[in-house]
Amino acid sequence: MEEIKVKYFVDGIDELCYVAGKSDWIDLHAAEDVDMKAGEFRLIPLGVAIELPEGYEAHVVPRSSTFKNYGLLQANSMGVVDYTYRGDNDQWHVPMYATRDVHIDKNTRISQFRIMKNQPPLVFTRVEHLTGPDRGGFGSTGK
């Protein structure tokens, strides 16, 4: 098992828990009570900073039930936590947009994350033409 250091910014939220055999995504908790009005945007603190293993990043997405239960949409669709975001003050947050008035209790599980290997270093070379077969452009395969 990979050991990962986690700093908790507040008391009263559950510690991160890897549930073997169910899913390898790990739930994240709101670190404070949150009240939002319909149409409001808020950066909700998740109460943790995490020292990611070298060569990894984390992807943060909503739990499947978050919209149904709270009417919240993650404003950046998916959060990317870089390997370099790993210091004492690098608390994770989730940007949320409220589609209705909502109250969320501190410690509510609103998001989930997993870690992913970084892609290899890339070099981009400008060319006039590509050598691959043409697929027909955006939206060309059907309705």
Ligand X SMILES: O=c1ccn([C@H]2C[C@H](O)[C@@H](COP(=O)(O)OP(=O)(O)OP(=O)(O)O)O2)c(=O)[nH]1
User: For binding to ligand X (CB under 6 A), which residues are involved?
Assistant: 60, 76, 79-82, 85, 92-95
Nearer to ligand X, 119 or 136 (CB): 119
Q: Which of 33, 35, 82, 105 is catalytic?
A: 82
Q: How far is the CB of 93 from ligand X (least distance, A)?
A: 4
Plot region of 77 (φ>0 → left; ψ -120 to 50 → alpha; else → beta)? left
Q: Identify which of residues 82 and 101 has a Cβ nearer to ligand X in the complex.
A: 82
Residues 143 and 140: their CA atoms lie apart, in Å, by 8
Q: Which residue in the shown chain puts its C-beta closest to ligand X? A: 79
Contacts 24+ apart (CB under 8 A), 72-75: 72/36, 72/96, 72/97, 72/98, 72/99, 72/102, 72/104, 72/110, 73/97, 73/99, 74/111, 75/41
Within 10 angstroms of residue 81's Cβ, the number of other Cβ atoms is: 20
Shortest approach of ligand X to residue 31 CB, angstroms? 12
Q: Is 101 a known active-site residue?
A: no
| Residue placing its CB nearer to ligand X in the complex, 61 or 131 | 61
Smallest separation, CB 101 to ligand X (Å): 23
- Active-site positions read 82
